Structure 1
Amino acid sequence: MSHVNVVEQLTAERNQLAKQAVQIHKFGGSSLATTQCIERVIDIIRQHCQLNDLIVVSANGDTTDALFHIYQQAMAQDSQLHASIDELQQVQAQLIEDLLSPASANRMLDYLCSDVHQLKYWLAHAPEQHQADLLSFGELWSARLLSAILSERVCPSYYADAREFLVINNERECLVDNQLSQEQFSQLVQPNKLGVVTGYICQDSEGKTCTLGRNGSDYSATIMASLSGALNVTLWTDVDGIYSADPRIVPSARKLHRLPNGVAKELGRLGNPVLHAKTLQPLTDHSTHLHVASSFDHQISGTEIGKFGQIAKQELSVTYLNELLLAQSESFIGQLGDEAQQRFQCVCGDNKAGYIVIHQQQQKAVSQWLASHDTEVSFTPAAIIATVGHRVIHHGDIKARFKRTLKHERVFAIADSAYEHSLIAVLIQPCSVELLNHVHHNMTKDVRHIGLVVAGLGNIGERFLAMLPEQLACIPLLENIHLVGLVSSKKALINNDGIDVSKAMIQFEHEAQHYDHELLMSWLSHHPYDELIVVDITPSEEFSLLYPAFFKQGIHVIGANKWAASSSIEHYQHLLATAKANKSLWLGNTTVGAGLPVNYAIQDLLNSGDSITEISGIFSGTLSWLFESYDNSVPFSTLMHDALSQGITEPDPREDLSGRDVQRKLLILARMAGLTLSLSDISCQNLVPESLQSLSTQEFLANAEQLDEYFASRFLAAKQNNQCIRYIARLSIEGETINARVSLEVLNNDDAFANLTPCDNVFLIKSQWYHDNPLIIRGPGAGRDVTAGGLHSDLVSICRQLIDRHHQVKLKSINTL
């Protein structure tokens, strides 16, 4: 889909569940290695699987290695053969006894004894004829055990030996006979049960047991998706996704949350330790999406492979292969060179320069092929390092950067991949760890993708969006920001492939759908970005209550919304603790003073070792305008109605006159200064008489003249003493004593708060350093331009803090089956 919104996406997911559409879940050997691991897998199945799904399994832990070792011992007539068999049987028996009830365990132990008897028979009589049969026991035991556990604890289940339906041409090519395999598979499916299928093993056209080689169980899983028409395949592995380089070697490698199919296939072909090109072959003509996730921490978002838009196509990664051979011959020129590249599925080659790069084990086959053409060939040890990305050979800037990065290395040639998704440098020495890190740094630096969700599309929200295109174009820190979400009070538009910033509001009007907070959080919890920032420009207390959920997901918040920062002290401290625990950033510099840097100033003083002793000023643009403009030449109520008509006040002016907004702002600044205060600690003078406080807005406006006498008397009394009246917020700290209030005060006409441009805010800060000569910050404290500008300032600040962040991969091992 070109445009994905919250409701459509989640509705589709729910419809899929309702129809019980098949999904494939594959668990590798390390995910099933121990009793604890299998218990973890059971929990994943409970949470992520449903009846009719299919689970593909590898052998438990190191079982396949143990079986291969036993086979080698048999071939060598090793005296320790039977001890190795007994040890393997004991390991399997222990898993059975630990995980099943006694009755089920006894039945499984009988099956195990029968299998071991058969294994010993083959080893004694014709081991070389039954190597694949011997290796197949690992997957058979794993599937049979998991199915028994599921049937006993979770839901009805059955297991299937893939050799009963999956047919390939031979072990070298592993091409599936789809028609025959699908016919045989359909006869084995048991409806309304959870199926557990052996990975890695199958049969050839003659009925002989075969294995699918490296990443064989992953390949089995995608074959099963092709046979069953599954919409999703999840490879539950020992890493939490695909990275921009091997994270065991490149500490700065970053997770690739979404990969286009072609790029993933090329990564697998060129040495990615988790993917293999063969794994993706069955999905070539299907809309199935492949997910890579960690069975050791299934709450972490993994990597999705499928069809995506431009943002996913911008990803770059670096991979390498050592222990290769550079083969040079005249026969590799022209048409014969093309034939050689196809025949040997070369890593790369050039039919003009007359070379191909092959794996070392292919040397004999290449030599024999060239002998038939009566031409000479030279073989040189080689390696490759490659930059992989969507159609990367067509990007001249990336190609130039790749060449510049390697200009001091011993590079034989730089080749465009025949598959167009990689640039390959052929090296005549092994690719070192240092070189891999160097190339990765230069090719992928500053490419973290940050999703931006804007909530609140009123005047300030629209202005923020109007400023966004120019900001993205001129601020380098924002070059990887992608607008992916627009949220109003009733509708939302979420697009994983990005929303056109120049047409954001138009796109919202045409495509936004109704949503609720549950639907919104469901998407935000599974976003495909390195980081996600929510800009909250709503006035909604209800929306601010989502902050804890945002922080738990590691989502960052920029808030003009004052509710969260001025909430109860318990809630506020919980927010801070949750944000810190999940490394979420929370900036709210526009909650007070719009774009004025008062919060920055307080933070900078405290971070520098200063201590605040006083914060005071005029914090309301509305009250600033009213009292700077009021001279008793017209009644106060008339002036208030004028302000209302200009949009200077809230729709109900009592919101301003109550002082609650100023009280909240003073509380936010007090907390910023490190004080543990609540709203109840700040006395607040309500300028609306009690007789008007409980009326409807219209009734209040009709009776607003009741305000006039009070303000006239206060004004005249002040004027007689050459003074003025202003609504002031004050916070003072003297030792352990804290005084905080917001009220109407009488000031001398030469006071710092007495002569402002109407609507201006002014903040006075005293500290140890600014005691005799206080720091004063003055300027417009309201307005769509300055507030939107303040939000953009926060956006730049948050991106600066995120730029050097690195999420470590949780790596157990790399399973190769």
Structure 2
Amino acid sequence: MKVLKFGGTSVGSVESILSLKHIVERCDSKVVVVVSALGGITDKLIATSKLAVDGNGTYIEEIEAIKKRHHNMAEAVIPTEKRPQLLTELDTMLEELRSIYYGVFLIRDLSPKTLAAIVSYGERLSSRIVAALIDNTRLYDSREFIKTRHKHGKHILDSELTAKLVKDTFSKMPQIALVPGFISSDKHSGETTNLGRGGSDYTAAIIAAALDAEALEIWTDVNGFMTADPRVIPAAYTINELSYVEAMELCNFGAKVIYPPTIYPVCIKNIPIRVKNTFNPDNPGTVIKNKIDNDRKPIKGISSIGGTTLITVTGLSMVGVIGVNRRIFTALADNGISVFMVSQASSENSTSIGVRDEDASEAVNVLNAEFAKEIETGAMFPMHAESGLATIAIVGENMKHTPGIAGKLFGTLGRSGISVIACAQGASETNISFVIGSQYLRKSLNVLHDSFFLSEYKVLNLFICGVGTVGGNLIEQIRSQYDELMKKRRLKLNVVGIASSHKAIFSREGINLANYREELEKSSPGDTNRLRNEIIGMNIFNSVFVDCTASSEVAALYQDFLDHNISVVAANKVAASGDYDSYARLKETSLRRGVKFLFETNVGAGLPIIGTINDLRNSGDKILKIEAVLSGTLNFIFNEISASVPFSETVRRAKELGYSEPDPRIDLSGKDVVRKLVILTREAGYKTGQEDVMKNLFVPDEFFKGTIDEFWKRLPELDKDFEKKRAVLEKENKRWRFVAEMEHGATRVSLKEVDRSHPFYGLEGSNNIVLLTTERYREYPMLIQGYGAGAGVTAAGVFANIMSIANI
């Protein structure tokens, strides 16, 4: 024999109620079917009660809407020959309900007893419809065998009497027994009571336990328990099996799949619970049982409760005094206030308790009254209540066998910039609960789901600023690698923001990279203020800001992003080469907050120069000297120049091929090389700025004044002098190289002549080369050489930085 419970959504529509019929009729054993009210009806009954007690005559219209809802359902699913009798039964009950509402309206009073009677009609009406729908069904009145008693102002189940009455009632079990859930009656007076919201689950569990059913099936509108709330975490998936303890913990912390008291009656009888989907009956759902075989996952699921208030009871008089906590919890219990989390300092001078927001005010009053004498004398402080909080629990019985879970939990939250206000862990280690600001709830759930491998994919959320040559190439590389990374690395690169110099688009779910330019063009105007506010305001987990611009205004946003635990990957050189104190603060913030500030492509495009310097220093080595050709543009120019290709033409070619900055004067002035040298010097451990670099340049200052058009017109004036010097170099078998040098912190850039014996002589095209002399590589310096310019390789270097964050 089985007990099947169908919730409000399972009897809320024609489709679902016909599915219920099919599910019940295909059972090969006797069943007790427990049904809830039609979806939304209980809320409507309560809302109508409030209209009536307030003297609002529109309650009559609501009664008509309730009547119409049930009539429409009956006419849609009940065969014609059964319909007249059913409609008569429904109308009789609805007239009773109308009379009760009229009484409430007349006397302006709504007692708990009257409200209990009103809400009982939801299940009484729905059960009549289902009984008429399914052939060979016997309808029972649950008020005859589900009995309650009054305690602390509430009706609680009389377990012993109820179990006896259930056994007696079903001693002669029909093939299909139908029971309205939720409703009950007082054992003494016989007045209608109920088991609380969600009580239909409880009704089913009580019956299943009393009759020693082979299984309890909870039919709802989801496939079972999920690893997290899928409305918050799209990657959440159904949990195949849970233990009773795990299910109870998840239910208590917001997983509204089943009503928490449901578990206990069947647990003690070792009756499995199956949670299944009325709309997808072939899905296996979730099985809840005593022991899970071959269970290796330490974490089964993450659950949460919003609307949390933390009340702190504190005072020096609490230290070492026996009975303080007893007084706290007795006072709250006597007033019917439930505490779902407790955190106490080891010094015993404070105890924090978590309650729901709706109970907070009364809880504060109760505790202030309980400790009034101590508060008056100053031995204790008045109760402190902090609202606007949320409580999260990670649940899994195998946590007790897995060291480091708590460390990983709090480390993950810390790296995401989420402060834990209070925490609690039981000795059984099946639940670690903690309280955070409610604004961090979504972010916390996502980052924990990702961190504990409950998600199918690890997600990195990217904000990309700049869609020029580098940014455009990066977006295309991400788009082309997207499926491969998901398949091979289980990594999802979710681009949630794209900004150009004038427009910006944002989407938490991710932007379609195939047509982002069209979407960007249609979007609202964007500036750096909007960029900052949107990114920080989105408060999204595992987020990375990627700067593919050369903007100082955008670089000025880095500090704010790092302060909000958003990693920064920059192709932009401004931040790393600008004011030293600002650079040092960015580095310190990233280290302190556990996020990344990466700018490998600031020097050498995709070459691993900065990373190598950091690796050497981290291993204890010291950088003594750096010699480098760091401008792919200038190297291209001095490799291209010849008797037939004058200097001005090589500059133009560099611009056309995308090797130079949009304004090539930045390259020719040596500013770009100076910035790169400053970055390398800083990363090598020396304090320096651009003003400290000695410069020996090759283009007169006057060429850098005026407009870019004027520059292009005047540039050929330099060709004759360059050709004269070049011809001499060619005879001497020498070449020009614009070299950046650092030695013990002293820096300079200059145009040098190198012969065939020099490592820089054979440097081809736009390649870069770096020689690192260190304490370990003193006699034979380390050499890094390769393609050092171009949008494609720079974008690839940025992509590599992003991937290094994904690998954390």
Give the TM-score normalised by structure 1.
Answer: 0.51
| Contact map agreement 1:387 1:402 (CA 8 A) in 2 | no
Hey, what does 2:473 align to over in structure 1? Answer: 463
Aligned ranges 1:629-640 → 2 under 5 Å: 629-640=640-651
Pairing 1:699–2:710 present = yes
1:754 deviation in Å?
Answer: 1.0
| Contact map agreement 2:204 2:216 (CA 8 A) in 1 | no
Partner of 2:602: helix, strand, or coil?
Answer: coil
Pairing 1:508–2:554 present = no
Change (3 A) 1:653 1:445: closer
User: How far, CA to CA, are the matches of 1:668 and 1:779 in structure 2?
Assistant: 19
> Of 85, 105, 109, which residue of structure 2 is paired with 1:207?
109
Change (3 A) 1:172 1:475: closer
1:586 deviation in Å?
Answer: 0.9
Aligned ranges 1:315-464 → 2 under 5 Å: 336=177, 339=179, 377-378=211-212, 386-387=225-226, 398-399=237-238, 402-403=240-241, 412=272, 414-418=274-278, 423-428=285-290, 434-435=397-398, 444-445=454-455, 449-464=459-474
Pairing 1:177–2:49 present = yes
User: How far, CA to CA, are the matches of 1:211 and 1:677 in structure 2?
Assistant: 79
Partner of 2:537: helix, strand, or coil?
Answer: coil
Change (3 A) 1:644 1:403: same
Pairing 1:798–2:785 present = no
Partner of 1:415: helix, strand, or coil?
Answer: strand
1:655 deviation in Å?
Answer: 1.4
Hey, what does 2:601 align to over in structure 1? Answer: 590
Partner of 2:633: helix, strand, or coil?
Answer: helix
User: How far, CA to CA, are the matches of 1:754 and 1:521 in structure 2?
Assistant: 46
User: How far, CA to CA, are the matches of 2:733 and 2:673 in structure 1?
Assistant: 26
1:703 deviation in Å?
Answer: 1.4
Letter in 2 for 1:553: H
- Cα deviations by residue, 1:216-244 (Å, 9 ceiling, x for unpaired): xxxxxxxxxxxxxxxxxxxxxxxxxxxxx
> Of 543, 551, 562, which residue of structure 1 is paired with 2:554?
543
> Of 644, 649, 664, which residue of structure 1 is paired with 2:675?
664
Hey, what does 1:769 align to over in structure 2? Answer: 776
1:666 deviation in Å?
Answer: 0.9
Hey, what does 1:752 align to over in structure 2? Answer: 759
| Contact map agreement 2:216 2:272 (CA 8 A) in 1 | no
Pairing 1:498–2:510 present = yes
Partner of 1:564: helix, strand, or coil?
Answer: helix
User: How far, CA to CA, are the matches of 1:340 and 1:331 in structure 2?
Assistant: 19
1:551 deviation in Å?
Answer: 1.7
| Contact map agreement 1:455 1:536 (CA 8 A) in 2 | yes
1:594 deviation in Å?
Answer: 0.8
1:449 deviation in Å?
Answer: 4.3
Letter in 2 for 1:771: R
Hey, what does 1:602 align to over in structure 2? Answer: 613
User: How far, CA to CA, are the matches of 2:47 and 2:579 in structure 1?
Assistant: 64
| Contact map agreement 2:605 2:790 (CA 8 A) in 1 | yes
Query: Taking every aligned residue pair, what percent have the same amino acid on both sides?
Result: 25
Letter in 2 for 1:501: L
Change (3 A) 1:497 1:178: farther
Hey, what does 1:233 align to over in structure 2? Answer: none
| Contact map agreement 1:624 1:759 (CA 8 A) in 2 | yes
User: How far, CA to CA, are the matches of 2:225 and 2:733 in structure 1?
Assistant: 79
Change (3 A) 1:184 1:711: farther
User: How far, CA to CA, are the matches of 1:555 and 1:777 in structure 2?
Assistant: 31
User: How far, CA to CA, are the matches of 2:723 and 2:698 in structure 1?
Assistant: 13
- Cα deviations by residue, 1:240-262 (Å, 9 ceiling, x for unpaired): xxxxxxxxxxxxxxxxxxxxxxx
User: How far, CA to CA, are the matches of 1:610 and 1:383 in structure 2?
Assistant: 66
Partner of 1:533: helix, strand, or coil?
Answer: strand
- Cα deviations by residue, 1:696-747 (Å, 9 ceiling, x for unpaired): 22222111133234433443443343322111111112xxxx3211110011
| Contact map agreement 1:538 1:560 (CA 8 A) in 2 | yes
User: How far, CA to CA, are the matches of 2:544 and 2:572 in structure 1?
Assistant: 15
Aligned ranges 1:16-165 → 2 under 5 Å: none
Hey, what does 1:120 align to over in structure 2? Answer: none
Aligned Cα root-mean-square deviation (Å): 4.7
User: How far, CA to CA, are the matches of 1:698 and 1:677 in structure 2?
Assistant: 34
Determine which structure has more spread, i.e. the larger CA radius of gyration.
Answer: 2
1:598 deviation in Å?
Answer: 1.0
Partner of 1:450: helix, strand, or coil?
Answer: strand
Hey, what does 2:631 align to over in structure 1? Answer: 620
Stretches of structure 1 lacking an aligned partner (at least 5 in a row) = 1-167, 187-202, 214-324, 345-356, 802-817
Change (3 A) 1:666 1:366: closer
Hey, what does 1:572 align to over in structure 2? Answer: 583
Length, aligned pairs only: 480
Change (3 A) 1:665 1:396: closer
Partner of 1:483: helix, strand, or coil?
Answer: strand
1:648 deviation in Å?
Answer: 3.4
User: How far, CA to CA, are the matches of 1:181 and 1:729 in structure 2?
Assistant: 85
Change (3 A) 1:343 1:777: farther
Greater displacement, 586-595 / 433-442: 433-442
Letter in 1 for 2:518: I
- Cα deviations by residue, 1:523-559 (Å, 9 ceiling, x for unpaired): 2122142122111001111111111221222211110
Change (3 A) 1:382 1:650: same
User: How far, CA to CA, are the matches of 2:113 and 2:503 in structure 1?
Assistant: 52
Greater displacement, 719-728 / 770-779: 719-728
1:414 deviation in Å?
Answer: 4.2
- Cα deviations by residue, 1:117-150 (Å, 9 ceiling, x for unpaired): xxxxxxxxxxxxxxxxxxxxxxxxxxxxxxxxxx
Hey, what does 1:77 align to over in structure 2? Answer: none
Stretches of structure 2 lacking an aligned partner (at least 5 in a row) = 1-39, 59-102, 116-162, 185-194, 219-223, 248-269, 293-299, 301-394, 403-429, 431-448
User: How far, CA to CA, are the matches of 1:514 and 1:360 in structure 2?
Assistant: 48
Pairing 1:473–2:473 present = no
Partner of 2:674: helix, strand, or coil?
Answer: helix
| Contact map agreement 1:169 1:176 (CA 8 A) in 2 | no
1:798 deviation in Å?
Answer: 1.0
User: How far, CA to CA, are the matches of 2:720 and 2:284 in structure 1?
Assistant: 79
Hey, what does 2:421 align to over in structure 1? Answer: none
Partner of 1:703: helix, strand, or coil?
Answer: helix
Partner of 1:763: helix, strand, or coil?
Answer: strand
| Contact map agreement 1:471 1:478 (CA 8 A) in 2 | no
Change (3 A) 1:785 1:693: closer
1:504 deviation in Å?
Answer: 2.4
Letter in 1 for 2:471: G
Hey, what does 1:731 align to over in structure 2? Answer: 742
Pairing 1:787–2:797 present = no
Hey, what does 2:435 align to over in structure 1? Answer: none
Change (3 A) 1:518 1:177: farther
Hey, what does 1:517 align to over in structure 2? Answer: 528
| Contact map agreement 2:242 2:289 (CA 8 A) in 1 | no
Higher RCO, Cα 8 Å, sep 6+: 1
User: How far, CA to CA, are the matches of 2:53 and 2:795 in structure 1?
Assistant: 60
Letter in 2 for 1:454: I
Hey, what does 1:806 align to over in structure 2? Answer: none
Give the TM-score normalised by structure 2.
Answer: 0.52
1:443 deviation in Å?
Answer: 6.7
Change (3 A) 1:414 1:748: farther
| Contact map agreement 2:769 2:784 (CA 8 A) in 1 | yes
Hey, what does 2:499 align to over in structure 1? Answer: 487
1:171 deviation in Å?
Answer: 12
1:767 deviation in Å?
Answer: 1.3
Letter in 2 for 1:597: P
Partner of 2:741: helix, strand, or coil?
Answer: strand
